Structure 1
Amino acid sequence: MGSWMPRPKYGHDRTMLRKTAGSGNPAILPPRYAQFDAGKTTPWRGDPRVRKPDPGGVLFSARATPEGAHMHVRLPSTLLILSFLAGGASSAAAREVAGLVVDDSGRTLPRAHVRALDSSGRELAAMFTDEAGRFRFAAPDEDCRVEASLTGFGPATVRCDAAQPLRIALAVAPIQETVVVTATRTEAPAGQVGASVTVFTADDLERRRVPLVADLLRGTPGAAIVRTGAPGGVTSLFVRGGESSYNKVLLDGIPLNEPGGTFNFSSLTTDNLDRLEIVRGAQSALFGSDAMASVVQLITKRAAPGARPGGSAWIEGGTYATVRGGGQVAGTSGPFDYSFGASGLSTDNREPNSAFRDATISGAAGVVLGGSATLRLVGRTQRQHNGTPGQTAFGRPDLDAFFEQHDGVGGATLDHQPTPAFRERASYSLSILHQQSTNLVADPPYTPQFDGRIAPFQFTDFRFDSFNALRRHHASYQADVRLANDAARGSHLLTLAADWDGERATLQDRLAGTATPASRDNVGVVAQHQAIWPRVVLTASGRVERNASFGTAAVPRGAVVVVAHEGGAGRAAIGDTRLHASAGLGIKEPTVLQSFSPSPFFRGNPDLEPERSRTVEAGIEQRVAGDRLRIEATWFDNRFRNLISTRTTNPATFESQFFNIGLTRARGAELAADAAPAAAFRIRGGYTFLDSQIVDSTSPSSVVLAPGKWLFRRPRHSGFVDASWSRGPVAANLSGVFVGRFVDSDFASLQPPILEHPSYSTWDARVSYAVTPRAAILMSIDNVANADYMEPLGYPALKRAVRIGLRIGF
């Protein structure tokens, strides 16, 4: 891993919960650094097995120690000392109970709630398991039993006097819980972070077989993807009414955005990824600039410790002269682990001069340093070339214009945990982005026309050749301190962090022979407190950001989760009911162009304020039918202000400059459901209603951007459905996306103008047949119904596309 972000321990659909551990009795301190293995107690510090994940998982936390073991804060307090001594004396006759909590496949379960109960059911001691599923507490030397429970699993009980260490196996529920690392900068169950989170696991990536991340994100409540035509076109993500530059994008904790938040998803692939998380709502309290509406995190695959070298290779081809292939390898050798992948995609697409070529190489490697530290490296590079024919639905294509992008990112993280209650991480990364947009031949003039509409004048081509070189240095230090973990006080985790971003850019106009350098250094400090009890979780965080462009800004965030109803033992018809709420503020720095542009027609403004957001949400999650169905409903209310746009400063010369002049709001609701009615069948779906409005327009004279209008290119209604089925060697997946009408513009001066985009829907299908355990035949069909639509106006999307291929494992 190339940055501070910790790693969830389990891949696929297995429950991945954040580890906590400690003494169940405030007066009993467990032996320091204890590990349980086959009935013996050995120091964990020298035992490399503490990092073993489940055989099927590829990601896990870098922590090697049982965090959260109970320890008292050393305060100069006589009362605290006396209380400690008195408690120790009263517990002298207590027995020590230790063990491991696993699922029914043997995978350890962090953060399971473990209790010691007497014969009448009275609680004697309680705590949460640590990252390796271990627990240790003192229980009275009497007849008792130990009960372990965790949302998404069936509870289990064993006797205290069973062979030590105890091994408690919990049955996996059909709809399991997942762990996220993005919502709190630490591992936490998705149901306990208080924010809306969508996770695409390794199993989801395998079922969907979607080449591009943007198409995967279409299956996220509250998210809208707009791509200018076929794959390779400019691709934007809008979340809950926010602008496309309001999403922080991370790779293993490394920021990928351009300075100012812009991120083009056009060529970002799913290759060599283990999971993808998207957390909705303002997250600037943890991540600073750009996290105004969401954070999207990509997590690279990682080999399981002890895994033998292996991998896979695939190739497929089909419609539009499409060819896609690649391979990946992963393995371990002693304390080392590695994972590498390479892939390529080539397609001619539908329109002239719209061919798309992309190549991606990625990798991760790590080494265990002693028993308490880990060094991890991560890297990813991508090269893209595609033609840019323009709005071919309205006129002739531009036959020579093209766009090229070459980016690379690399980072290193040192993760150190000297004690069970303290963990620290230091990281450094560098991301480099080169972009070229070129049109050296002026094509003949044309008159736009479409469906009986025609422009009153001709459009002429113009030449351009721009090149942008962007670099971002990112350094981070984070410390996690476990303040407590016992039945009386709950579990308390304090996180302190400091981040530095050094942004460097050069904007070149090659035809004019000009170059504009830009430099900006930003520093942010973070504090977060997570308080966890069996039925309540509270999170409070805040950040102070010092930005070279706008100065200092403070942004808080808070979240709460309440378990209003516990389903109880077994597969209850009405399972857990969780209520959640969160609120936060977001900030976004100006882009390099907005701050530094020397052009008189869009002159930069060094005095710009940050764009700001205020987001609030509240929701409910209900599990029913023995955990075979999970239903979620969330209401949200967002407000975005200080939007940056140009304003004319000299009408005679058409000069303009950037100013903070916009205000918008967006509120609505998200509904999501996940069902597993049978072991071989899984279906999930979502619907989003978005009530958006422009309050203060950045272009009040524009028909589509006038005050009172819906936000541009953000649909009022949208939804998705995804169904998977498997039996024997056959697996199939069907996914659909519905996009309601939204405000748009033809931007071609058509008369009468087109001011609204009609609704559309698409369906994609995937089928695989395992010929042997290591070989499978693949078939993919995009746009099964052969829908003919534009996305957005003027840019025809691909019609039905079929690909057939083969995948080999080794």
Structure 2
Amino acid sequence: MSYGIRTTALAVAASLVPVALIGQEPDPVEIDGVVVTATPVPIERSALGASVTILDGDDLRRRGVLRVADALRAVPGVVVARNGSFGAVTSVFFRGAESDHLQVLVDGVQVNQPGGAFDFASLTVDDIERIEVVRGPGSALYGSDAVAGVVQVITRRGGGRPEATATVRGGSYGRLDGSVSVSGSGTGVSYGLTLSRLSTDGLLDFNNAHDQTVATGQARIQIDARTEARISARMSDRTYGYPTDGSGAVVDRNQQSFGDESTVALEVRRGLTAAVALRGLVTLADVESGTDDAPDSPADTLGFFGYQSLDAMRRAAFDLRADAQVGEGTVLSVGGEFEQQRVRSFSESQSAFGPSAGRSEYERDNRAGYAHLVAGRGAVSTNIGARLESNDQYGRFATWQVGLSWTLDDATRIRGAAGSGVKEPTFFEAWATGFTRGNPDLDPERSRSFEVGVERSLGSVASLSVTAFRTDLRDLIQYTGTPPQPEAPNYFNVAEARTSGVEASVQGDAGPLGWGVDWTLLDTEVLDSGYDEGPAATFVEGEALLRRPGNQLRVAADWTATDAVAVDAAVRRVGERSDRDFATFPATPVTLDAYTVVELGAEIRLHERAVVTVRGENLFDEAYQEVFGYAAPGRAVYLGGRFSIGR
């Protein structure tokens, strides 16, 4: 096996994973149950104090899942809210925290907007090897935005003899999607390439089409016995027609949003000795997005009748880290990161009062140093980490995390984790001018979290996991239309909230039948509403945070009927939650009803390399909304096939 880089990566696993794994040639990422997102070095999931869910890409595609957001609906503690149709803005909430409190990575590249916002409508699963979902604060490792958790999308790397796979699927709402992927390996090189395309007419009567093309590629090169390199790239182009205004009313025939996104990562690992390795990572995320709403007709000349906008975001970063085995089953990681963030915006309006335009450009640098210790001895494993940020805008800030896992016997494990998180202000919140004034003196939003969990094996029948958690959110940035003083800014660190709850999961199998039940109980409360007052405010003291249901339940099963036929089914129940009707001023408080959706799918293997799939979603045509004013999809049926050659 390779010298240095693999030895260090598996140092912790040596005391936590069966010894036979140490001598295997594949990269640690491929080891079943090993997590690469929660700590600097790969570690067995059963050695972590934090809650981690691993979603397998092949399994997601087999079940007909198209988007990462839909995959996350199956994860305990996660709430997904989409503004109606396919391709609409999609937000994800972890354990009741804000949607911009989540760090999103694609092959190690941070793809959030500076300040945390991320639209999950852009991520599909065609090219994914796996998704790692870490719940709990991750700022001590990843810095800003990882207040409530981290989602890392890991694209397919390929391996073995060359293989090509093609998929195609079509059905309800005019949907047609397909992909072609090629993967394989040669002497010292492995590779994976995927090209996918999606189009749909959408839910609404007009101007609701969504089109997206995605190309991804990843290659790993064994340069010499001590050095390995990885390069990955992803490019996405998408458009979405949305005829709705801010309240969900269908009013516009040519309003569209667009997004061109690209990410690149270059990682090099070098083993210096049998116990010390260096790892360098260069990443780039480049996003151009905006809105195009031309006049509907020559007669459209009243009020504001035309609008265009363009927002360009770039995040470039370099991370250098050393991993050293400092004792049996103990690895110390020390590293530093430099990141440059840049945002450029342009907008132009046409109205009866004449044209107007606006431009802005902002840039800031961030420097950070961090250290993490991962140790395992016998039945106990721990991880401790800290990070110090130095940002051009908000100065210095420190975060920390600690985790503990204790295996009592062959059937029981107790674990716990705690930590702090930060989310930097957006450029607009800090520097906006005009009708809205930014506040350059804003501090980051902050959090402190802890969780305690128990996992219990119930013999060969099933396994049980129960986790209790709590997060305190402070210094939340809030907009106010009535500043306390004339010429004062519109943004302040004033709001405060608390989230807590329980995640419970039971998984089992009985021969050809596998099943699982996941339940989440969530309680959120606004502790300080700041300048927001009245029932229409976003933060109302003593009330729950918006769009967070108190209960979620998912029951799923898969049945391998024969070697050629497999069936899967899922029932998902989401409880009621609070929202606002923005068609009125001030906004009117509303309650979104609870709902239940049923999914059923089947895979029929016609040949070793030919598979037919059929899938039904929302089979009982449940009418519901995840965001008030925007209807979610009704009943849908899709038919598809998958074909492969090679290997």
Shift of 1:440: 2.8
Aligned to 1:474: 317
The answer (yes or no) to whether the contact 1:744–1:755 under 8 Å persists in 2 is: yes
- Return the match for 1:693 from 525, 530, 543: 525
1:189-219 deviations in Å (ceiling 9; x for gaps): 1121100111102343243221100000001
Aligned to 1:92: none
Corresponding position: 1:536 with 2:380: yes
- Return the match for 1:766 from 597, 601, 624: 601
* Distance in 2 between residues matched to 1:398 and 1:510, nearest whole Å: 18
* Distance in 1 between residues matched to 2:575 and 2:361, nearest whole Å: 42
The answer (yes or no) to whether the contact 2:85–2:202 under 8 Å persists in 1 is: yes
- Return the match for 1:603 from 437, 446, 450: 437
- Return the match for 2:107 from 247, 252, 274: 252
Shift of 1:68: 6.9
Corresponding position: 1:515 with 2:359: yes
Corresponding position: 1:132 with 2:18: no
Aligned to 2:258: 404
* Distance in 2 between residues matched to 1:349 and 1:113, nearest whole Å: 47
1:694-729 deviations in Å (ceiling 9; x for gaps): 111152234353111101111111122222122211
Shift of 1:366: 1.7
Aligned to 1:708: 542
Is 221-230 or 800-809 further displaced after alignment?
800-809
1:732-755 deviations in Å (ceiling 9; x for gaps): 211232210011112112999451
The answer (yes or no) to whether the contact 1:522–1:545 under 8 Å persists in 2 is: yes
Given residue 215 of structure 1, which amino acid in structure 2 is its aligned partner?
D
Aligned to 1:623: 457
Shift of 1:521: 0.5
1:108-156 deviations in Å (ceiling 9; x for gaps): x965667xxxxxxxxxxxxx5663359xxxxxxxxxxxxxxxxxxxxxx
> Does the C-alpha gap of structure 1 residues 536 and 233 become closer, same or farther in structure 2, counting only changes over 3 Å?
same
3-state SS, counterpart of residue 419 of structure 1: coil
Corresponding position: 1:325 with 2:175: no
Corresponding position: 1:577 with 2:392: no
Given residue 259 of structure 2, which amino acid in structure 1 is its aligned partner?
Q
The answer (yes or no) to whether the contact 2:176–2:200 under 8 Å persists in 1 is: yes
Aligned to 1:558: 402
- Return the match for 2:514 from 676, 679, 682: 682
Is 391-400 or 685-694 further displaced after alignment?
391-400
Aligned to 1:189: 44
> Does the C-alpha gap of structure 1 residues 598 and 391 become closer, same or farther in structure 2, counting only changes over 3 Å?
closer
Corresponding position: 1:504 with 2:342: yes
* Distance in 2 between residues matched to 1:663 and 1:443, nearest whole Å: 47
> Does the C-alpha gap of structure 1 residues 505 and 751 become closer, same or farther in structure 2, counting only changes over 3 Å?
closer
> Does the C-alpha gap of structure 1 residues 113 and 387 become closer, same or farther in structure 2, counting only changes over 3 Å?
closer
> Does the C-alpha gap of structure 1 residues 808 and 548 become closer, same or farther in structure 2, counting only changes over 3 Å?
same
The answer (yes or no) to whether the contact 1:648–1:654 under 8 Å persists in 2 is: no
Shift of 1:808: 0.7
Q: TM-score, normalised by structure 2?
A: 0.92
> Does the C-alpha gap of structure 1 residues 760 and 461 become closer, same or farther in structure 2, counting only changes over 3 Å?
farther
Given residue 575 of structure 2, which amino acid in structure 1 is its aligned partner?
G
- Structure 2: 5+ residue runs without aligned partners? 26-30, 350-355
> Does the C-alpha gap of structure 1 residues 791 and 441 become closer, same or farther in structure 2, counting only changes over 3 Å?
farther
Corresponding position: 1:65 with 2:7: yes
Shift of 1:268: 0.7
How do residues 338-377 of structure 1 correspond to structure 2 at under 5 angstroms? 338-351=191-204, 352-377=206-231
* Distance in 1 between residues matched to 2:439 and 2:306, nearest whole Å: 27
1:259-294 deviations in Å (ceiling 9; x for gaps): 111100012101111100111111101110000001
Shift of 1:318: 0.9
The answer (yes or no) to whether the contact 2:15–2:376 under 8 Å persists in 1 is: no
Shift of 1:648: 3.4
3-state SS, counterpart of residue 121 of structure 2: coil
* Distance in 2 between residues matched to 1:420 and 1:308, nearest whole Å: 31
The answer (yes or no) to whether the contact 1:716–1:740 under 8 Å persists in 2 is: yes
Aligned to 2:470: 637
* Distance in 2 between residues matched to 1:661 and 1:67, nearest whole Å: 43
The answer (yes or no) to whether the contact 1:522–1:546 under 8 Å persists in 2 is: yes
* Distance in 1 between residues matched to 2:51 and 2:17, nearest whole Å: 23
Given residue 779 of structure 1, which amino acid in structure 2 is its aligned partner?
V
Is 718-727 or 476-485 further displaced after alignment?
718-727
Corresponding position: 1:784 with 2:619: yes
> Does the C-alpha gap of structure 1 residues 794 and 391 become closer, same or farther in structure 2, counting only changes over 3 Å?
farther
Q: CA RMSD in A?
A: 2.6
Given residue 595 of structure 1, which amino acid in structure 2 is its aligned partner?
A
* Distance in 2 between residues matched to 1:774 and 1:404, nearest whole Å: 37
Shift of 1:501: 1.2
1:437-481 deviations in Å (ceiling 9; x for gaps): 23233799xxxxxxxxxxxxxx98764321100100011111110
* Distance in 1 between residues matched to 2:111 and 2:180, nearest whole Å: 24
* Distance in 2 between residues matched to 1:534 and 1:242, nearest whole Å: 35
- Return the match for 1:282 from 137, 150, 171: 137
The answer (yes or no) to whether the contact 1:550–1:608 under 8 Å persists in 2 is: yes
The answer (yes or no) to whether the contact 2:536–2:587 under 8 Å persists in 1 is: no
* Distance in 2 between residues matched to 1:358 and 1:584, nearest whole Å: 38
Aligned to 2:504: 671
> Does the C-alpha gap of structure 1 residues 368 and 390 become closer, same or farther in structure 2, counting only changes over 3 Å?
same
Q: Which has the larger radius of gyration?
A: 1
3-state SS, counterpart of residue 602 of structure 1: coil
* Distance in 2 between residues matched to 1:393 and 1:662, nearest whole Å: 25
Corresponding position: 1:732 with 2:567: yes
The answer (yes or no) to whether the contact 2:213–2:238 under 8 Å persists in 1 is: yes
* Distance in 1 between residues matched to 2:162 and 2:23, nearest whole Å: 24
Given residue 507 of structure 1, which amino acid in structure 2 is its aligned partner?
S
Aligned to 1:170: none
* Distance in 2 between residues matched to 1:510 and 1:737, nearest whole Å: 43
3-state SS, counterpart of residue 350 of structure 1: coil
Shift of 1:608: 0.5
> Does the C-alpha gap of structure 1 residues 468 and 374 become closer, same or farther in structure 2, counting only changes over 3 Å?
same
* Distance in 2 between residues matched to 1:663 and 1:112, nearest whole Å: 40
> Does the C-alpha gap of structure 1 residues 474 and 759 become closer, same or farther in structure 2, counting only changes over 3 Å?
same
1:511-540 deviations in Å (ceiling 9; x for gaps): 333211100100111111112012111111
Shift of 1:610: 0.3
The answer (yes or no) to whether the contact 1:435–1:467 under 8 Å persists in 2 is: yes
> Does the C-alpha gap of structure 1 residues 761 and 184 become closer, same or farther in structure 2, counting only changes over 3 Å?
same
The answer (yes or no) to whether the contact 1:356–1:387 under 8 Å persists in 2 is: yes
- Return the match for 2:84 from 217, 229, 233: 229
* Distance in 2 between residues matched to 1:752 and 1:433, nearest whole Å: 32
* Distance in 2 between residues matched to 1:669 and 1:703, nearest whole Å: 29
> Does the C-alpha gap of structure 1 residues 752 and 272 become closer, same or farther in structure 2, counting only changes over 3 Å?
closer
The answer (yes or no) to whether the contact 1:184–1:286 under 8 Å persists in 2 is: yes
1:215-250 deviations in Å (ceiling 9; x for gaps): 000011110000000111110000111100000001
> Does the C-alpha gap of structure 1 residues 462 and 596 become closer, same or farther in structure 2, counting only changes over 3 Å?
farther
Given residue 132 of structure 1, which amino acid in structure 2 is its aligned partner?
G
> Does the C-alpha gap of structure 1 residues 759 and 375 become closer, same or farther in structure 2, counting only changes over 3 Å?
same
Aligned to 2:632: 797
The answer (yes or no) to whether the contact 1:602–1:655 under 8 Å persists in 2 is: no
The answer (yes or no) to whether the contact 1:595–1:605 under 8 Å persists in 2 is: yes
3-state SS, counterpart of residue 282 of structure 2: strand
* Distance in 2 between residues matched to 1:433 and 1:267, nearest whole Å: 11
Corresponding position: 1:749 with 2:584: yes
* Distance in 1 between residues matched to 2:263 and 2:624, nearest whole Å: 36
Given residue 445 of structure 2, which amino acid in structure 1 is its aligned partner?
E
1:408-438 deviations in Å (ceiling 9; x for gaps): 0011111111322112110111110001123
* Distance in 1 between residues matched to 2:6 and 2:288, nearest whole Å: 38
1:286-306 deviations in Å (ceiling 9; x for gaps): 1100000010001111122xx
